[in-house]
């Protein structure tokens, strides 16, 4: 979220990759450029820092003069249930350094979000030709949605068919990281990497003005204080691709820290 979150993650990601021997890293970058969208330079910076794939969300195209990066950079995804004519793609199969295959698919929810196609049917289509444990070694789903119920439903829908289902969009980390009954790792929302002394990553004054007066007074600006890095790690089973372990990570800033022990 903005320069604060972006800089914190870029600084720490290479060390986290070495410390935890991470095989595959997905970063959601939809708020990376001033809180709205992503640029080609920022995408390149995250790849250089260790990201294997980048997802986005409803702000995917906010940097309107750079939307062509979605056609050029195959490691940058927009929601798969956007119109098929839109720039870019919503899923892909990628290789780890030791040759294992990972399907990453990205969808946007319908409740309280801009209009889009059915995310459940869209994800089903992506998984039809990439069966976990047969066609691919791991499946990671980023479900970018407002309603916790809709994100919870996606986890249930994909239980046993994905290694990991993560919710994004609401910028607040949830405490429900767990392995679902059929073996899929799940968390309702990863939270943002950004300054939490804010209103979901924005400087407080303008959101407060709009809440209390119903009148805009200026533009939203990302908060610039020390960021907390938020995310989740899993260990996927080498045979089935399902999750053997899952743990959240929170580092720095004003949230309580937690470091994975998996």
Catalytic residue among 59, 106, 144, 169: 59
- CB-based contacts of 67: which residues, under 8 Å, 6+ apart? 61, 87
Dist CA 51 CA 75 (whole Å): 9
Q: Does the active-site annotation cover 157?
A: no
Determine the length of the chain.
Answer: 262
Dist CA 262 CA 248 (whole Å): 10
**What residues pair up with 108 in beta bridges, in sequence order?**
144
């950004």: which residue's tokens? 194
136, two tokens: 């691919």
Dist CA 251 CA 189 (whole Å): 16
Dist CA 122 CA 108 (whole Å): 10
Dist CA 116 CA 166 (whole Å): 19
**What residues pair up with 230 in beta bridges, in sequence order?**
250
Q: Where in the sequence numbering do the catalytic residues fall? A: 59
């Amino acid at each position: 979220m903005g320069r604060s979150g972006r800089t914190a993650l870029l600084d720490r990601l290479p060390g986290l990759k070495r410390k935890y021997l991470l095989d595959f890293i997905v970063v959601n970058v939809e708020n990376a450029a001033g809180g709205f969208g992503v640029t080609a330079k920022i995408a390149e910076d995250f790849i250089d820092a260790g990201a294997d794939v980048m997802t986005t969300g409803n702000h995917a195209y906010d940097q309107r003069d750079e939307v062509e990066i979605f056609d050029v950079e195959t490691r940058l995804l927009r929601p798969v249930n956007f119109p098929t004519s839109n720039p870019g793609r919503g899923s892909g199969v990628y290789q780890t350094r030791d040759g294992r295959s990972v399907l990453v698919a990205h969808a946007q929810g319908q409740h309280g979000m801009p209009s889009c196609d059915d995310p459940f049917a869209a994800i089903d289509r992506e998984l039809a030709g990439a069966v976990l444990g047969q066609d691919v070694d791991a499946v990671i789903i980023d479900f970018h949605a407002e309603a916790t119920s809709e994100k919870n439903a996606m986890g249930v829908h994909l239980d046993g068919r994905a290694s990991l289902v993560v919710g994004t969009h609401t910028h607040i980390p949830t405490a429900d990281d767990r392995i679902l009954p059929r073996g899929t790792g799940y968390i309702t929302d990863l939270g943002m990497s950004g300054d939490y002394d804010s209103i979901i990553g924005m400087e407080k004054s303008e959101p407060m003005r709009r809440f209390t007066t119903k009148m805009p007074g200026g533009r939203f600006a990302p908060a610039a204080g020390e960021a907390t890095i938020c995310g989740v790690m899993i260990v996927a089973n080498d045979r089935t691709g399902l999750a053997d372990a899952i743990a959240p990570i929170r580092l720095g800033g004003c949230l309580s820290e937690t470091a994975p022990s998996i």
